[in-house]
Structure 1
Amino acid sequence: MSGYMLSPSLGWIGGGIIAALLLVAAIFNVVLFIRRRNTSDTSLVACIRRSAIAVLIAIMALTPSVMATTTSRAINATDVYVAVDVTGSMAVNDAQYGSNDKIARINAASKAVTDITALYPNASFAGLSFGASASLDVPLTPDSNALTNWADTLRTEPTASSSGSNLDAPLDKLLVNLKATHDQHPDDSIILYVITDGEQTSSATRRSFSSLRGYINDGFVLGVGSTAGAQVPVTQVTASGNQTQAGDWVIDPSTKQPAVSKMDPKNLAAMADEISGRYIALNAKNTLSNSASKDASKRYRVSTTVKKRRRATPVVWPYAIAAGVLLLWEFGSWLAMSRRML
């Protein structure tokens, strides 16, 4: 049969062990009948019936299934928004993520995004980058690969187009999208992650993130970089679209010396407090491998997606009916035998 397969609901180990034991029982029943056929009142029909029952249950343990194409998907009712700072300071090479190796802050952010997707299986994800302006690069989707692919391609703004760091740059875009998600799925758990070095170089006063509290269930502000800081490299985009460092340092106009960017824990903690969330400094010891939100939903909802998927649909009922008929036959035979013995 086309598309016919075995897909044990108890897993190949559990289902395989049960099926093997039942097949051994079926064979043992036949061997025992042959050895005792001259001294036992068990008939050939009874022997075949009992072995057939064991074989049918063994087949059901292996869960016969057919492959069916579907556009439906069960999605965990958790929506995770990730906002990543892509200002020039995120190119500074002073971050650590799970090791003592120094990497660019933007690369640490990329690793953190990948870990976030692993923390929320079957959830929906959205990716937003912010620098001089904010952009919703990945609209809310149940495809976690879309977010990890986006994270792998994250690049900082070219120095020529950078206008300094303004931490509230993603605020308006987040507010609009979080409200839309909350209105569309009011029973969902919405989790917000903001990844930045916390540096505010703009002269404008930073707006509070407290306006987001009404639309999220939990929030995290993730700090990348070091409080010691390091010099900010000049970055540029090549004709092919790749980002490179020009080999020079950004000059601080006030000192005429290479600018030094430092992670600002004070700003990061304040942002976390404004969303009633938690601030986590990412470094050699702290990663996101075990920092999933306790407010993640345990409920699921069915959604229709554009992508077609092949799904194994169990077809156990024919075997269950056959086994049921044989079991009733066995029970009837046992009753008849009991009455004769009385």
Structure 2
Amino acid sequence: MTWNPIWPAWLLVVVGALLVGLCVWGLVRAGTRRKRVDWMLRGLVALVIAIACLRPGIGSHSVEAAQSELDVLFVVDTTASMNAEDWNGGPRLDGVKQDIAQLALAHAGARFSLITFDSQAVRRLPFTNDATALQSIVERLSPEITVYSGGSSVTVANGLVNQVLGHAKEQDPDRAQVVYYFGDGEQTSSDAPESFEQAGGKTDGGAVFGYGTNEGGPMLETLAAFSTQAPEYITTADGETAISVIDEANLQAISEQLGVVYQLRTPDTAITPAEVQVESGTGGDVEAAFDLYWIFAIAAFVLMMREVWVNVRSIAELRGARGASDVDGD
């Protein structure tokens, strides 16, 4: 059996163990048989979901694998301003997601890595040939939670980019390195932007892509995952709707430091991938496992439907009891 986890395996094991442990604690404290069964099934749901996230596979089948001596590093702005609605009426980040998907297709067979930055830079994906993993992470990208956002710099990822490129070059000096930077250039930090020149010395190509318009757009706030409130538009200190506009001067400066081209992105224009001369080929046939995660996902869904039914029934019983109490009171 093979495993291809969607997140680091250690993280999935820790989270899964905590959830199962919580269910065991609830099982021990349960006072009735019905409650014990409920907690047992909840623990089973947690276990099944954890296994599905580990993406188990079995057996193998031959597939033709494309290979390219190329590393592609995506650097994505996830500050609140990337939620500005001036990308065909939607948030700028939607445009970034579409463009990354196109660039991944253009560089089929390359290794991909992803860095996002807001108040700090984080590496979301180490270099991998798994384009599906890249797509999965990109689809889930969202701006930082608004209440936690503060002043941000367009070059806060500079140190991490330089570190990632340097480490990859040490491991395999013959591989070409391409950097794609996605952002709107809006600098809200009081500190002056740093320079990407050191990272530019390790870059064989790429581009800086700008998102936004001079007219700008309003930004919906980003709420925490478990918030029940509806998001509202971010406002200024005066109570007016805040408008974010693109700063192309900052983006052009970054492109010059990296030694790559700058391109203003609009929904009606095609994105231009970097042209880098690298060796590529099919790499022959490789063995790939048959995925089994979907079986566990279906099992988890069925078990969760049972949990929904139990909760709906409990609510109905509670309402019935309240109704009977009101009648008795009359």
Q: The TM-score by the shorter chain falls in which range?
A: 0.5 to 0.7
Deviation at 1:69, TM superposition (A): 5.4
Q: Deviations over 1:68-117 (max 9, x none)?
A: 7579955210110001110001111111xxxxx32201111111111110
Whether the 8 Å contact between 2:70 and 2:111 is mirrored in structure 1 is yes
Residue of structure 2 aligned with 1:247, choices 223, 227, 232: 232
Q: Secondary structure at the match of 2:180?
A: strand
Once the 2 structures are TM-superposed, how far is the Cα of residue 297 of structure 1 from its aligned partner? Answer: 1.3
Deviations, residues 204-239 of structure 1 (Å, cap 9, x unaligned): 110011111221101211111111112222221231
Correspondence 1:85 to 2:77: yes
> 2:77 & 2:171 partners in 1: Cα distance?
27
Q: Is the 8 A contact 1:232 1:249 kept in 2?
A: yes
Query: Match for residue 134 of structure 1?
Result: 121
Q: Is the 8 A contact 1:81 1:127 kept in 2?
A: yes
Q: Which of 154, 167, 185 is residue 172 of structure 2 equivalent to?
A: 185
- How far apart are 1:300 and its partner, in Å? 5.4
- 1:166-221 deviation line (CA, Å, top 9, x unaligned): 11111111111110111111111110001001100110110011111221101211
Please list every run of 5 or more consecutive structure 1 residues that lacks an aligned counterpart in the other structure: 1-66, 96-100, 311-342
TM-score (norm 2): 0.64
Structure 1 letter corresponding to 2:195: S
- Residue matched to 1:12: none
| 1:139 CA drift (Å) | 0.7
Query: Which residue does the alignment assign to 2:184?
Result: 197
CA distance in 1, matches of 2:281, 2:168: 16
Cα shift at 1:245: 5.6
Higher strand proportion (structure 1 or 2): 1
The answer on 1:274 being equivalent to 2:257 is: yes
RMSD of aligned residue pairs (Cα, Å): 2.8
Alignment CA distance shift 1:71-1:286 (3 Å):
closer
Match in the other structure for 1:102 = 89
Describe the shift of the 1:245–1:142 C-alpha distance in structure 2 as closer, same or farther (beyond 3 A): farther
Q: Which has a greater percent of helix?
A: 2
The alignment partner of 2:233 has SS state of strand
**What letter corresponds to residue 88 of structure 1 in structure 2?**
A
Q: Which residue of 2 aligns with 1:308?
A: 288
**Equivalent residues, number:** 232
- Is the partner of 1:145 in helix, strand or coil? helix
1:107-160 CA distances to partner (integer Å, 9 max, x unpaired)?
111111111101111111011111111111111000111111111111000111
Alpha-carbon contact 2:66-2:108 (below 8 Å) kept: no
Report the residue type matching 1:132 in the other structure. Answer: S
For 2:230 and 2:154, locate their aligned partners in 1 and report how far apart those are by CA, in whole Å. 24
The equivalent of 1:323 in structure 2 is none
